[in-house]
């Protein structure tokens, strides 16, 4: 492992508040793949509160012991080999026991008031037995159409707003975690925010997105504002354009029913990619607290004009080969209509209409069954003047690229020109690469650890405010409307197709070619060479 040049001692995180977490959807896929592994990792790193209770809620008629056993079996699949003290299955027995001993399962129908009366007793018991002090997180790992139903019942059962003592603040806190999607259109997002806002204060709502829990995402602000080298050139004078890519090799797999109602745009653009854009483009905050950071992100989103339908491209994967394996077309996936017009790929050209970024295009793309899995922000700087080199054997000076890679390997890469050794003025492109795993011990992380911890301490920095959610839907709504109109007029048959294992539809390349630009190739991410 490389040695850091200079660094203060690692700062211990603030202790999380004692609390209970009521996990609605406790037997679901999200719980098994992400929430439980994250809680286990928090236990393993001693970040989970000593006074903690996990209360699982679902319709399944099972017992606490059976629920624990099922989660343990799934944990063995999703948690890698741990430390030396881990058991033969790779799970740290002591860390799991600390979590398992604090689990309670409550079966019930989310639409029935009786369930919430039962929850009141379980929460009171947790406060008495485990010292949770009445603090509670209500985690909605459930279908979006049930969000308001559950919150309404929590309110009617008086489980949301804590009691107050005379002339004092709340005796304890109550917070609600909502999984995406936060609506499926601008109107639905506004309706959801309005209905939640009638019951909850904004500081009680945590709209969670595991994408934002990754170290590289959080490091964007540290990289920008902690280094005097980059901030002076982070503007329209020096930056030519920005590309944000989230490419996946997987298809829809078992999520056909979900994807048929969602599509690539709704699934990825309003949350993941536009949030990354806001972090790249935001102005420096006055301080790094949640209120200031969220205000700066919101300013960026408000400055983005609505996308023009001509600047949005969609596509759907056909048959092909991905990572050496035969892949079938989207329309042949399980629970997908044979004439489906749902997009599995989307590319978009946006601009930020403010003093820092006016005239700088931001290109966003995401898709399934592509040639390589990679999530990255690529920033292309304007080229240096060519005239001093016109007598040298170079056709043109290559542009400088700064690449912030978020997945699968978290890294930062800078490409620039140097002179080759020798008497001639001969230029070559080189890269300086920083990879997290070269400098820091690898830590098990599914992306939710930081976010769940932040909910426990009440820090909303990495979450979306209501106005930010509505702004993201405002930006993309014209594309959704335009595609709906096309489909109503028989446009589904003309939807651009792309072969599984490729780079996406040719129309996406045309989107940049109109501006005289090219995408960085997905199958060689980080090269700095245009497609």
Could you list the active site residues?
272
Three-state secondary structure call for residue 407: strand
The answer to whether residues 137 and 175 touch, using CB atoms and an 8 Å cutoff, is yes
Task: Tell me which DSSP letter residue 520 carries.
Answer: P
What is the C-alpha separation between 69 and 198, in angstroms, rounded? 39
**What element of type H or E holds 432?**
strand 427-435
Closest CA to 22 of 50, 57, 52: 57
What is the C-alpha separation between 237 and 317, in angstroms, rounded? 38
Three-state secondary structure call for residue 42: helix
Count the neighbouring beta carbons within 10 Å of the beta carbon of residue 66: 12
- Cα 69 to chain centroid distance, Å, stands at 29
134: region left, alpha or beta (phi > 0 left; psi from -120 to 50 alpha)? left
**What element of type H or E holds 291?**
helix 290-302
- Cα 161 to chain centroid distance, Å, stands at 29
Dihedral of the CA atoms 463, 465, 468, 469 (nearest 10)? 80
């Amino acid at each position: 492992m490389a040695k850091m040049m200079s660094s203060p001692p690692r700062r211990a995180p603030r202790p999380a508040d004692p609390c209970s977490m009521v996990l609605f959807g406790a037997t679901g896929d999200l719980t098994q793949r992400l929430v439980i592994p994250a809680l286990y990792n928090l236990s393993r790193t001693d970040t989970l509160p000593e006074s903690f209770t996990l209360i699982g809620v679902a319709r399944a008629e099972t017992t606490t012991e059976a629920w624990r056993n099922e989660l343990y079996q799934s944990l063995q699949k999703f948690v890698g080999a741990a430390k030396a003290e881990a058991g033969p299955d790779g799970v740290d027995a002591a860390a799991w026991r600390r979590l398992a001993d604090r689990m309670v399962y409550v079966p019930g129908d989310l639409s029935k008031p009786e369930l919430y009366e039962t929850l009141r007793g379980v929460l009171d018991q947790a406060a008495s037995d485990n010292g949770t002090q009445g603090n509670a997180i209500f985690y909605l790992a459930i279908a979006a159409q049930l969000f308001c139903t559950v919150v309404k019942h929590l309110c009617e059962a008086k489980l949301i707003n804590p009691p107050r003592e005379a002339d004092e603040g709340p005796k304890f806190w109550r917070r609600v975690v909502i999984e995406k999607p936060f609506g499926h259109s601008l109107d639905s997002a506004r309706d959801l925010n309005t209905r939640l806002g009638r019951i909850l204060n904004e500081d009680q709502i945590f709209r969670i997105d595991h994408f934002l829990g990754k170290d590289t995402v959080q490091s964007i602000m540290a990289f920008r504002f902690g280094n005097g080298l980059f901030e002076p050139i982070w503007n329209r004078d020096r930056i030519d354009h920005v590309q944000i890519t989230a490419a996946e090799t997987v298809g829809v797999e078992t999520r056909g029913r979900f994807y048929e109602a969602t599509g690539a745009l709704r699934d990825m653009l309003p949350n993941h990619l536009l949030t990354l854009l806001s972090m790249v483009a935001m102005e420096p905050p006055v301080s790094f607290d949640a209120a200031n950071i969220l205000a700066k992100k919101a300013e960026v989103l408000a400055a983005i004009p609505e996308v023009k339908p001509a600047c949005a491209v969609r596509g759907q994967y056909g048959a092909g080969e991905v990572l050496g394996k035969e892949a079938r077309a989207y329309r042949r996936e399980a629970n997908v209509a044979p004439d489906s017009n749902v997009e599995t790929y989307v590319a978009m050209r946006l601009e930020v209409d403010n003093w820092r970024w006016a005239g700088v295009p931001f290109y966003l793309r995401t898709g399934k069954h592509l040639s390589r899995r990679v999530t990255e922000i690529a920033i292309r700087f304007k080229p240096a003047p060519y005239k001093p080199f016109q007598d040298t054997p170079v056709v043109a000076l290559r542009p400088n690229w700064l690449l912030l890679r978020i997945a699968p390997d978290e890294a930062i890469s800078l490409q620039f020109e140097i002179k080759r050794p020798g008497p001639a003025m001969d230029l070559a492109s080189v890269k300086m690469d920083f990879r997290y795993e070269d400098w820091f011990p690898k830590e098990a992380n599914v992306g939710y650890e930081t976010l769940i911890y932040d909910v426990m301490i009440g820090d909303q920095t990495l979450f979306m405010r209501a106005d930010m959610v509505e702004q993201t839907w405002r930006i993309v709504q014209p594309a959704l409307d335009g595609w709906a109109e096309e489909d109503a007029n028989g446009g589904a048959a003309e939807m651009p197709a792309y072969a599984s294992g490729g780079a996406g539809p040719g129309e996406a390349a045309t989107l940049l070619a109109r501006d005289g630009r090219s995408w960085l190739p997905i199958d060689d991410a980080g090269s700095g060479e245009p497609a």
